[in-house]
C-alpha cells in the first residue's frame, strides 16, 4: 500500500470490523517481523484512541 504519516486509511481489525484512521507513523517490522502503522481512530462513535495494525490489514487508502 502506498501511504505515509498523515494519510487516512481504512483497515479491517482482527474481529472483522473496519476502522478509519489518521496514520501517525509507518513502522517497519511493527510486530512479528511484519510492517505496519500506528494511528488515531477518526469518524467513528464508540472507540476512539490510538491503534496499530499490519499493512496487510489495510483495505484502502482514502487520502495521502
Residue 24 inside a domain? The answer is: yes
- pTM for this predicted structure: 0.88
| 30 confidence band (pLDDT: 50, 70, 90) | very high
Report the pLDDT value the prediction gives residue 57, as an integer from 0 to 100: 98
Whether the predicted pLDDT of 61 surpasses 80: yes
Number of domains in the chain: 1
Residue 51 inside a domain? The answer is: yes
Domain holding 42, by residue range, is 8-63
Report the pLDDT value the prediction gives residue 49, as an integer from 0 to 100: 86
Residue 1 inside a domain? The answer is: no
Report the pLDDT value the prediction gives residue 1, as an integer from 0 to 100: 77
Residue 2 inside a domain? The answer is: no
Report the pLDDT value the prediction gives residue 43, as an integer from 0 to 100: 77
Whether the predicted pLDDT of 20 surpasses 80: yes
How far CA 56 is from CA of 4, 35, 45, 46, in Å, comes to: 15, 8, 25, 24
Residue 3 inside a domain? The answer is: no
Amino acid at each position: 500500500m502506498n501511504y505515509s504519516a498523515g494519510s487516512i486509511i481504512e483497515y479491517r481489525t482482527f474481529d472483522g470490523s473496519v476502522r478509519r484512521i489518521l496514520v501517525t507513523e509507518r513502522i517497519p517490522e511493527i510486530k512479528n517481523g511484519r510492517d505496519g502503522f500506528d494511528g488515531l481512530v477518526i469518524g467513528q462513535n464508540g472507540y476512539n484512541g490510538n491503534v496499530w495494525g499490519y499493512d496487510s490489514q489495510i483495505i484502502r487508502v482514502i487520502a495521502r
